[in-house]
Structure 1
Amino acid sequence: MAAPLTEAAIEKVRALIRGGHLEPGQRLPAEAALSAQLGVSRSSLREAVRALATAGVLDVRRGDGTFVTSLSPEQLFTGIGEAVDLMRDESLLELMECRRVVEPQVTALAATRATSADLADIQRHLELMESATDEQDLIAHDADFHAAVAAASGNAALAAILRGISGVTLRARVWRALTEDGSTQRTIAEHAAIHAAVRDGDAPRAAAAALLHVANVEDWMRTTIGTEPPRDA
């Protein structure tokens, strides 16, 4: 948690943005002028700017100044994925419950909203996954496949949330276990079922296919996490 003076500075900058005094893409006033305007010290303002940059609210461009970002979901939800990668094992099952709630609905939306370009992108990532021979390639194409499905939902906020809670580290652990267990082809087939349902515009089937896929990953986690040594062992 930031120090009280920094927290106050953060809230004052946020208030300027909420009130429309700072618009997306707008450059912030010089540090001395802004600190005087807000009634905070320059050191507190600098700490506030760092915190808001980490949160995706501000963009610090060396030699050019500090700007308000686009404030898009992609920007503002960037911290979710970083937080997920730091979660301990006991929290990961709760995370999978979140994914089980969100992903089927996002996939159902994709089935009703996907454009021909979206479908081509989803199919391309599926084909790359099917032809992958390297574990790292599988992980990358899996992430791209789900990101393409989420983008096809037409809801940038949901897509950003889903991308965050999917977790790069967790995804790598799952694929490593699937590869060792010989379950790679079964899992790829689950992705193919998702693609087919989205392509056919069948929202209930798309939601069911996504739910089955997430549930299978969750089942693996429930039987595996308890038997693994601590992550830092």
Structure 2
Amino acid sequence: MSRTDEVVDSIKRMILDGALRPGDRLPIERDLAESLGVSRGSLREGVSALSILGIVSTRQGDGTYVTNLDASELLAPMGFVVDFHGQGDARHIHSVRRLLEVEAARLAATRINHEALAQAGELLDEAALIVGQSPQDHERLIEIDIAFHRIIAVHSDNPVLVGLIEAFAGRTVRGRLWRSLHEAGADRRTHDEHVAIWRALAARDPERARTRMANHLMGVEESLDRLPECGPVRRPSPAPADGPAVGSNELVSHRP
């Protein structure tokens, strides 16, 4: 193990043992290097690595501090792995995303508050207007898609799950997906599926929310199979969907 790795592991251990807590300032460089038995150069390299990982942050002229250790920020570096492996065959990435978001929808159905439901409904109202326009503002649809799914993730009340979803379903992944699929009418289908998910959440029905989210994201995966870069995949005949799709003009009048 290199001296830099020793610094990284030692400071992580100090955090795990409670010697350093979120927001704490690290000891001055000279004292910390001496206590860890490393040179200042090795210490700086280790602190730099920890900074990239989101574990510490250096404030010019003020020292180095432990971050708030937010799960989403700590998991953010995983986003590069997702972006890298999502180029070309993205099905593996989206299958993991489906597992995560289906559970988030199930949890959110009993935990989401009225304010968040209203916010999600307003996003869908805006999406309905955009979908009905020509040309459509696909960049705004991507933003709405991200915001809608983020509301659901956040209200799972599981910060680790939120961080994983952020990594596996970030803007780069969604942007590539929308650009690949919108010509086939995925924008209208996606909107209708979002409305069905919203209604399940509003009904406080965990199993229905889980099923609607699963249907929505399974449709994404099946659409990916039809893209030229992914190639055809032999699949059995699809099972019947979980009820009829919600009509595109029913969003406002059919809200609970």
Normalising by structure 1, report the TM-score.
Answer: 0.90
Aligned to 2:60: 62
Mapping of residues 6-21 of structure 1, within 5 Å: 6-21=4-19
| Alignment counterpart, residue 76 of structure 2, candidates 75, 78, 100 | 78
> Is 1:159 aligned to 2:162, yes or no?
yes
Aligned to 1:193: 196
SS at match of 1:86: helix
Aligned to 2:108: 110
Unpaired runs of at least 5, structure 2? 131-135, 232-256
Unpaired runs of at least 5, structure 1? 228-233
- Matched to 1:37, the amino acid is S
> Is 1:53 aligned to 2:40, yes or no?
no
State the 1:68 CA deviation.
0.5
- Matched to 2:124, the amino acid is L
**Counterparts of 1:202 and 1:122, CA distance in 2:** 17
Q: Deviations over 1:132-188 (max 9, x none)?
A: 331111111111110011111111211111111113222111111232222211111
- Structure of higher CA gyration radius: 2
**Counterparts of 1:113 and 1:78, CA distance in 2:** 25
SS at match of 2:57: strand
| Alignment counterpart, residue 120 of structure 1, candidates 118, 121, 135 | 118
Q: Choose between structure 1 and 2: higher helix proportion.
A: 1
**Counterparts of 2:224 and 2:9, CA distance in 1:** 39
**Counterparts of 1:155 and 1:163, CA distance in 2:** 12
Residues 85 and 168 in structure 1, CA contact (< 8 A), matched pair in contact too = no
Residues 86 and 173 in structure 2, CA contact (< 8 A), matched pair in contact too = no
Residues 79 and 170 in structure 2, CA contact (< 8 A), matched pair in contact too = yes
**Counterparts in 2 of 1:91 and 1:46: CA distance versus 1, 3 Å:** farther
Aligned to 2:254: none
- Matched to 1:202, the amino acid is D
| Alignment counterpart, residue 24 of structure 1, candidates 22, 25, 28 | 22
Q: Deviations over 1:27-60 (max 9, x none)?
A: 1111121111111121221111121111111122
Aligned to 2:2: 4
**Counterparts of 1:30 and 1:182, CA distance in 2:** 58
Residues 69 and 75 in structure 1, CA contact (< 8 A), matched pair in contact too = no
Percent of residue pairs identical: 35
Residues 59 and 67 in structure 1, CA contact (< 8 A), matched pair in contact too = yes
Residues 73 and 160 in structure 1, CA contact (< 8 A), matched pair in contact too = yes
Q: How many residues align?
A: 225
Aligned to 1:145: 148
